[in-house]
Chains A and B, each alone.
Chain A
Amino acid sequence: MSFAEIVRTAIGNAFRSKLRTTLTVLAIFVGAFTLTLTNGVGTGITNYIDTQVSSLGATDIIMISQASLAEGGAFGQAASGPTEYDPDKAVVAGQMGSQFAALTNTDLAAIRAIGGILSVEPLRIVSPDYIGSEGGKKYEFTVNPSPAGSRVALLAGTGFTDGATPELLLPAAYVEPLGFASPSAAVGATLTIGVSDVFGQKHEVEARVAGVQEDTIFAFGMIISEGLTDALYSAQTAGLPAAAAEIYPMAVARFSPTAGPAQVKEIKAALEAGGYSGRTVADQLGAVNTVINGIVGVLNAFAVIALIAASFGIINTLLMSVQERTREIGLMKAMGMGRSRIFALFTTEAVVIGFLGSAIGSGVAIALGTVISTVLADGPLKDLAGLRVLEFNPVSVVVVILVVMLLAFLSGTLPAARAAKLDPIEALRYE
């Protein structure tokens, strides 16, 4: 019996007991459906994050701080215990009450000297009080600390003309409160930003709206140009001695955009040797991805449990099949069908059942998932432009189907081995 013939016969056999096969297929369907959907969520969200990379910052930059800051790091990297207090370390009393081990101009020079680093700019945190239009209300706001080089999707406007002009990108949510009819109406307008220095003195700085940004889950706050940062920072530090003004919580270094992971690793090692800590955009994303992968992994585990339950269904179905067809198997063996062919016939039947369940399950999951994510994207998630909760990667769908078929094959081996072992005489005598 040729392989094609075995497949054909196995398909025919699978449908001999329609109800039983249908129920088994249904059990696999549930597992494959769930697995495809959970994978779809993983793909959808990961894709979204990847496309949002630009809003976090350019990929050729590295955020540098004193090593002690990173140890208690933002994404909960395990610190190796409390860091001992060092009175000689310069400390920035952060405006939000937190303390940072700071970088000084000496540090910046040391970082600049590291091979592979093209330039270093201190990150100047500015915390203005309000933003307002001529004669209108004033609103609180935060400045996006993302370094220059960040790219965001704009609803209107063309972005900064050059770094030096005091300009800002207005979040879409501020358009109406500030009295503009539409995002495009806001572009080109001049807004007033209020900022206080350490002595409580109020200063006002004017800035032009260079664009209106789309809302995303990562880009929060206003993105301001280098020139505006300069203006705000000098207003904020007015009256401070240079030594106090020239300490920074972080610095932003650029490396070659063509640098590979190995070179980035080298730069990080060099920074570490100097007592600094560097985090690239990939590092920041990695932490987010780890969380998402963890959640998707747990969901997948549930789907796999459903599939394992379904595979017992396959075993059961085929054992009943073997029992029912004992005489037929005996006859085929008497007629010279070899053990391996009998084994292949029954495992193929299992694989056929597995394929049906997983193909239908994945197909329905894709259809339903596409509808759901379209509805969500147009409705509740409308503000998160570009987010499709469920996205299906053909490779992972094919992998799901193949894994289910493999599982079905493994389930089929027990009944198939039993069929292959049947003694033809006993089988023909079987009542």
Chain B
Amino acid sequence: MAARPWQNPKASRTIQILEAHAIKKSYGSGESYFEALKGVSLSIAAGESVAIVGKSGSGKSTLMHLLALLDTPDDGRIVVEGTDADSLSATALNKLRNSAFGFVFQQFFMIPNASVLENVVLPLKIAGMPRGRRTERGMDVLRQVEMDDKAGNLATALSGGQKQRMVIARALANEPRIIFADEPTGNLDSATGTVVEDLLFELNERHGITLVIVTHDEELAERCDRRIYLKDGLIVDSAATAVEVRR
């Protein structure tokens, strides 16, 4: 059976892969001024699975965007694998996102009119990997999500569950150390949702990939090692799942 993350040699709990120190973020000005994050600090260990839970407007998506370095905080610091994100150039930041992060979004975000394989190898193409190796690696990850028989299909012709599996394969393509998932099962029925969830946790447990899942789905959050509850831009609670409770 799958090893527990902390028993996985790849995942050492002592290394903090992602840290946020008192980050603040606001949008707009005047009447439309809105403070999305009011000073959030957290620390995520390598190999951990963390759920960021909150209602819409709680700032959970903003927090994920900041952690994924898609945006910069107004105040506070974000440290990725010991490096302050502030100190990185735009090019280094792009390179870090490309090589270390994988993204799974609720709305899939695929290239229409392109094949499943072409969609999956997009991060590798951006990284500049030659075509041959790209295809090889793309087929590998498609096999991992049991979609290799659909490689040549048009991405838009897939079912919802298949699309999300394809997106997970895309997130996996560059062998990321962290996968950011924003409501990964939001658009799926519960049966296919469960399949996608299983896939994500399997990656976490087998390969030690750190999972950061933004969700308002309490059941999905329960499956994570740790939950961070956000309300009005502040962490209001956090809880670790006892080993016995975990599946």
A contacts, CB < 8 Å to B: 1-2, 5, 9, 16, 327-328, 330-332, 334-339, 341, 423-425, 428
Contacts and interface: CB of A to CB of B under 8 A. Distances in A.
B113 A16 contact: yes
Nearest to B127: A336
A339 B122 contact: no
B111 interface: yes
B95 interface: yes
Interface residues of B, number: 25
B1 interface: no
A425 B90 CA distance: 16
Contacts of A330: 109
B125 A338 contact: no
Contacts of A338: 90-91, 94
A334 B97 contact: yes
27 contacts: A1-B125, A1-B126, A5-B128, A16-B113, A327-B109, A330-B109, A331-B103, A331-B109, A334-B68, A334-B97, A334-B103, A335-B98, A335-B103, A335-B122, A336-B96, A336-B97, A336-B98, A336-B123, A337-B94, A337-B126, A338-B90, A338-B91, A339-B90, A341-B126, A424-B70, A425-B65, A428-B109
Contacts of B65: 425
Contacts of B127: 336
**Central interface residue in A1, A423, A425, by most chain B CB within 10 Å:** A425
Interface in B78-132: 90-91, 93-99, 103, 105, 107, 109, 111, 113, 122-123, 125-128
Contacts, number: 54
**Central interface residue in A5, A330, A335, by most chain B CB within 10 Å:** A335
B214 to A, nearest CB: 13
Given A335-B97, A336-B96, A336-B99, A425 B71 contact: yes
Given A335-B122, A425-B65, A2 B128 contact: yes
A40 B28 CA distance: 59
A3 to B, nearest CB: 10
Interface of A is mostly: helix
Contacts of A327: 107, 109
A121 to B, nearest CB: 76
Contacts of B96: 336
A331 B111 CA distance: 9
Given A327-B107, A336-B96, 5 more contacts: A1-B126, A331-B122, A334-B68, A336-B98, A337-B126
B131 to A, nearest CB: 8
B125 A9 contact: yes
**10 cross-chain pairs, A with B, having the tightest CB-CB distances, nearest first:** A336-B98, A336-B94, A336-B97, A337-B126, A331-B109, A335-B123, A338-B94, A424-B70, A425-B65, A335-B126
Nearest to B113: A16
A328 B97 contact: no
B104 to A, nearest CB: 11
Contacts of A5: 125, 128
A389 B151 CA distance: 56
A273 B70 CA distance: 79
Contacts of B94: 336-338
Contacts of B128: 1-2, 5
B127 to A, nearest CB: 7
Nearest to A337: B126
A5 to B, nearest CB: 6
Contacts of B126: 1, 332, 335-337, 341
Interface string B164-201: 00000000000000000000000000000000000000
A397 B35 CA distance: 60
B90 A332 contact: no
